[in-house]
Amino acid sequence: MPSSIWRGLYFIPFFDTLFAMTQTKLIIFCLILLSAVSHAQTTLENLLEPIWKLTLLDASTNNLMRREYAGYITLNTATNEYGIDSVVPGRWTLPGVGARVTVPDRPPDIPANPTPLDKPIYYVAWFHTHTPTTHVTFPHRPVGPSVEDYGISRDPRVNVPGFVVDFVAVQTNNIPPNSIPAGLSTNAPFMIYDISPPSRRPLP
Instruction: Report whether 37 contacts 100 (CB < 8 A).
Output: no
pTM of the full predicted structure? 0.79
Averaged confidence pLDDT in the chain = 84
**What's residue 197's pLDDT?**
85
Asked if the peptide bond before residue 120 counts as cis, ω within 30 degrees of 0, the response is no
Q: What is the pLDDT of residue 200?
A: 79
Q: Supply the pLDDT for residue 116.
A: 87
Give tens-digit pLDDT for 75-131. 999 999 999 999 999 999 999 999 999 999 999 999 999 998 999 999 999 999 999
User: How many CB atoms sit inside 10 A of residue 21's CB?
Assistant: 14
* 130 or 198, higher pLDDT: 130
Give pLDDT tens digits for 116-174.
Answer: 899 999 999 999 999 999 999 999 999 999 999 999 999 999 999 999 999 999 998 88
Q: Where are the beta strands (DSSP E) in the chain?
A: 69-76, 81-89, 121-129, 140-142, 162-167, 179-181, 190-195
Cα–Cα distance measured from residue 107 to residue 129, given in angstroms and rounded to the nearest whole number? 19
How many Å apart are CA 72 and CA 139, to the nearest integer? 31
